[in-house]
Structure 1
Amino acid sequence: MKSICVFCGSSWGRRKEYENAAIALSQEIARRGYRLVYGGSSVGLMGACADAALAAGGEVVGILPHSLKRKEIDHAGLTELHVVDSMHERKAKMVEVSDGFISLPGGAGTMDEMFEVWTWAMLGWHNKPSALMNVEGYYDDLIRFLDKTSQEDFVKQPHRDMLIVDTDASSLLDQMEAYKAPENIAKWIQKESQM
């Protein structure tokens, strides 16, 4: 892996622990020599991630739609900032330039990004790991729901198992580094690339 994409809120949330986790994760990404890819904003947890990775000597790539550039304050100190036309183009660019995806606490936008890249992996469109960093139990209810989708046969268990969940930045990145896509997906991707 060379680049890790972090999805998270442009707000701070109610707990200081969310900011602390964003900082710890971003510092660990930089310490391991990975580029941080994220939504390009200077506010909320997004800004905390960028600031922490930059302060730790890391490279940070922001990807921000024009419409949000007008509404949010784009981060002026990034290694690279890509301004795109739509949210869909933003996600496609994030997938293109990233080797793995981590979701910190966030709202509907964070969930949209996480679910889309995980679904693309289930469909065999990429074989990159996706993870939830479950800070202070933020994702506990979602994890229970995802387990139920598998128990009720709407999501195959190997696909459910693709989504890594941890509370610790270092442990989470260790699991991402060791990640191997389910064999059927890896074979499908290889077959598609040969066509």
Structure 2
Amino acid sequence: MKNIAVYCGASTGNDEIYTLGAQKLGQWIVRNNYGLTYGGGRYGLMGVVANSVLSANGFVHGIITQELAGRELSHAKLSKLDIVSDMSARKQAMLTDSVANIALPGGPGTLEEISEAFSWTIIGDSKNPCVFYNINHYYDDLESFFDAMTKHGFMEKETRKTLLFSDSLTEIGQFIKSYTPPKLRNYNKYPPNFIYSIVSQLIINSLI
């Protein structure tokens, strides 16, 4: 079974719409024949999306760190639970175990994990599509910031198109199925023929 990695908060936020969105995502995962890979917790939206998948008889793979498991934060009724050494190992394991990455609303940890996943696609270390499930316009400001990265030359336009912000699970599903990883960035500002012509001209000038 192919799994979707979901990153989300250990809180449910202050509006029921986020809980409802996490439940819908869990149902969508099962309905589309995916399993869930997530951080293994039982609280917040993490617990909501896991319970949603489990309630629909879906497969849930939790990956949690030793520290968090030791604080009794892990979900007790998952299909599979792996305990890893630290956050770096957890992030790597979640990427390896999934075919796509979706971020529900969350805090700094959620943002850090999905951002790292996307950065790995940019450098070619991952081929998973990355999506911000933009419930209640939660990620609107972040979407504008990524657009600003492109505007100011810190991200290529074609790369920006490979990151989706959407509140539509239908659109998210289509994006995952049709996804093509971004091309590796060309750090050479000038084409080889241009550089060759400049060097040749410098040589000629030195002989005159």
When normalised by structure 1's length, the TM-score is 0.91
**Residue matched to 2:190:** none
**Residue matched to 1:152:** 152
- The structural deviation recorded for 1:182 is 3.1
**Residue matched to 2:164:** 164
Amino acid at match of 1:88: S
Question: Is the 1:27–1:53 contact (alpha carbons within 8 Å) kept by the matching residues of 2?
Answer: yes
Question: Is the 2:102–2:130 contact (alpha carbons within 8 Å) kept by the matching residues of 1?
Answer: yes
Mark the CA change 1:161 to 1:59 in structure 2 (over 3 Å): closer, same or farther: same
**Residue matched to 2:201:** none
The separation in 1 between residues aligned to 2:173 and 2:57, in whole angstroms, is: 18
**Residue matched to 1:19:** 19
Question: Is the 2:139–2:165 contact (alpha carbons within 8 Å) kept by the matching residues of 1?
Answer: no
1:104-161 deviation line (CA, Å, top 9, x unaligned): 1000100010110000000011211000000101001000011000100011111111
**Residue matched to 2:87:** 87
Question: Is the 2:122–2:183 contact (alpha carbons within 8 Å) kept by the matching residues of 1?
Answer: no
Question: Is the 2:122–2:182 contact (alpha carbons within 8 Å) kept by the matching residues of 1?
Answer: no
Give aligned-pair identity as a percent: 36
- The structural deviation recorded for 1:183 is 4.7
**Residue matched to 1:9:** 9
**Residue matched to 1:108:** 108
- The structural deviation recorded for 1:72 is 4.8
- Greater mean deviation of Cα atoms: 72-81 or 7-16: 72-81
SS at match of 2:36: strand
- The structural deviation recorded for 1:71 is 2.7
**Residue matched to 2:127:** 127
Which residues of structure 1 form unaligned runs of 5+?
186-195
**Residue matched to 1:56:** 56
**Residue matched to 2:175:** 175
Tell me which of the two structures has the higher relative contact order, counting C-alpha pairs closer than 8 angstroms and 6 or more residues apart: 1
Which residues of structure 2 form unaligned runs of 5+?
186-208
The separation in 1 between residues aligned to 2:73 and 2:119, in whole angstroms, is: 30
- The structural deviation recorded for 1:170 is 2.8
How large is the Cα RMSD of the aligned pairs? 1.3
**Residue matched to 1:76:** 76
Q: How many corresponding residue pairs?
A: 185
Amino acid at match of 1:159: T
The separation in 2 between residues aligned to 1:149 and 1:184, in whole angstroms, is: 17
The separation in 1 between residues aligned to 2:12 and 2:183, in whole angstroms, is: 39
The separation in 1 between residues aligned to 2:182 and 2:142, in whole angstroms, is: 22
When normalised by structure 2's length, the TM-score is 0.86
Question: Is the 1:23–1:48 contact (alpha carbons within 8 Å) kept by the matching residues of 2?
Answer: yes
Amino acid at match of 1:124: G
The separation in 2 between residues aligned to 1:174 and 1:83, in whole angstroms, is: 33
SS at match of 1:122: helix
Q: Which has the larger Rg?
A: 2
